[in-house]
Amino acid sequence: EVQVVESGGGLVQPGRSLRLSCTVSGFTFGDYAISWVRQAPGKGLEWVGFIRSKGYGGTTEYAASVKGRFTISRDDSKSFAYLQMNSLKTEDTAVYYCTRGDDFWSGYYPWGQGTLVTVSS
């Protein structure tokens, strides 16, 4: 069974940092790009960014709203991806989902259960 699990969410003050983790099973992690998508409470889905597989350079792409503050990385040996979030703002409060996809153009499957990040003083 293909599965994705996120962790690391919690309550954090504005301006601070937090790192989310994503682990997968049921497929060869290193063969795929890993994306992050967030959903603010009661709102729609917002793409955060993704990291390509090493075969495609392992490069990253980000939404304008997080570029320069968020960094996505991956450790293929452990089948883990990370979302490092710095200079957090209250508007970053959301459930963060990790999912598998291929670059900008593919659909995302599967999705994890999400991890809630609350940015508040």
Partner 1 sequence: QSALTQPPSVSGAPGQRVTISCTGSSSNIGAGYKIHWYQQLPGTAPKLLIYDDSNRPSGVPDRFSGSKSGTSSSLAITGLQAEDEADYYCQSYDSILSAVVFGGGTKLTVL
By CB under 8 A, name the binding residues for partner 1.
35, 37, 44-47, 50, 61, 63-64, 97, 104-114
Measured from the CB atom, is 11 or 45 closer to partner 1?
45
Helix (H, G, I), strand (E, B) or coil at 104: coil
Minimum CB separation from partner 1 for residue 68, in Å? 15
CB 27 within 8 A of CB 100: yes
Minimum CB separation from partner 1 for residue 113, in Å? 6
Measured from the CB atom, is 64 or 121 closer to partner 1?
64
Minimum CB separation from partner 1 for residue 52, in Å? 13
- Write the DSSP assignment of 22-65 as a string of letters: EEEESS-GGGSEEEEEEE-TTS-EEEEEEE--GGGTT-EEE-TT
Q: Locate tokens 């992690």: which residue?
A: 29
Measured from the CB atom, is 37 or 88 closer to partner 1?
37
